[in-house]
Amino acid sequence: MSDVARSAREHDAAVPLSGGEAGVGHAPAPADGGAGPPRDDRPVSRLVEDFASALVEMGVPRMPARVFAALLTSDAGRLSAAELGTRLRASPAAVSGAVRYLVQVGMVRREGQPGSRRHYYRVPDNVWDEVIGIRDRLMARWTAVLRQGIGILGADTPAGARIAESVRFFEFVSSELPIVISRWRDRQAALGGAAAPARQ
């Protein structure tokens, strides 16, 4: 079992300290160090939980999904593990496991603070490139396995033909993804939001 798969299994069961949806119906989450205009934090908490649920539906374990959503909606752009725990009402162990998973799959970056031992976590500038890249690598793996199946099942059999069609689909999508990403970067630059390279 891969490290990422093992992390997913471990954190599917991760739950916040309080019952129900964390942050909803409780005290507002702390402000992002004064960044951005004041706002009611309750709708933000609901947004975090709703987007986390959407990520869970696409296969992201719940606790990493909640951490990712919290980082994405943070005006400061980065949060420490302690700040994440406070926002999500989650235990240090749950937050630690979640950020480890997210760093492994490229959805979060860890960075240090000069003169401090504290680490902060942020969503990289090119996070959706990373997410699509993860899916592309998965499709490449599926394609390699299914391509073997054509010979095993026989290309002239109904099952073999179905597998061959799957291979053609994955190959087509994989070949188109770089074009789509390139078009997105051109569009982003044209709209004035220059696609900055990812910070390492």
Instruction: Read off the tokens for 53.
Output: 């649920």
Instruction: Read off the tokens for 156.
Output: 């002239």
Question: What does the pLDDT read at residue 4?
Answer: 44
Question: What does the pLDDT read at residue 12?
Answer: 46
Beta bridge partners of residue 110, listed in sequence order: 121
Instruction: Read off the tokens for 23.
Output: 């942050």
Question: What does the pLDDT read at residue 35?
Answer: 52
Instruction: Read off the tokens for 150.
Output: 């054509």
Question: What does the pLDDT read at residue 44?
Answer: 92
Question: What does the pLDDT read at residue 126?
Answer: 83
Between CA 82 and CA 93 the distance in angstroms is 11
Number of other residues whose CB lies within 10 A of the CB of residue 146? 18
pLDDT-flagged residues of the chain (< 50): 1-31, 34, 196-200
Q: What is the pLDDT of residues 122-141, one digit of tens each?
A: 999 888 888 888 888 889 99
Question: What does the pLDDT read at residue 32?
Answer: 56
Backbone angles phi, psi at 115, to 5 degrees: 80, 5
Burial group, residue 77, by CB count within 10 angstroms (0-12, 13-18, 19+): middle
- Would you call 74 helix, strand, or coil by DSSP? coil
The rounded Cα 147 to chain-centroid distance in angstroms is: 29
Asked if residues 147 and 174 have their Cβ atoms less than 8 Å apart, the reply is: no
Question: What does the pLDDT read at residue 36?
Answer: 56
